[in-house]
Amino acid sequence: MLSCRELTDLGDALLAGELHGRRLWSVRLHLLMCRHCRRYITYMRRMLHTLPGMRQRASEVEIERILCGIHQGHGGADHNTDPEH
């Protein structure tokens, strides 16, 4: 049985279609039982589809860059304080 940490490590390969056989099944089994990881994978998959040029396997650097972008993007480059928003 995979741990959540192992699953997130494998998430990259899973989305790239690089997991096969027993490994793929252990990941699927975990996703069936763990909705946290399911959400994580769904989120990752959405990212891959959303970002242009990300159809290929994302490297660790790229993923980190994306995650950093999320954090920084939340603060916003422009300080739009629209009261009606």
What is the pattern of x (binds Zn ion, CB under 5 A) and - over residues 25-64? ---------x--x---------------------------
What's the burial of 31, exposed, middle or buried (CB within 10 Å: 0-12/13-18/19+)? buried
Write down the least CB distance from residue 44 to Zn ion, Å: 13
Write down the least CB distance from residue 28 to Zn ion, Å: 12
Distance (Å, whole) CA 12 – CA 58: 7
DSSP state of 57: P
Write down the least CB distance from residue 48 to Zn ion, Å: 19
| CB-nearer residue toward Zn ion: 34 or 54 | 34
Amino acid 23 reads: R
| CB-nearer residue toward Zn ion: 8 or 54 | 8
CA distances from 14 to 72, 76, 81 (A): 27, 31, 40
Chain residues in the site for Zn ion (CB under 5 A): 4, 34, 37
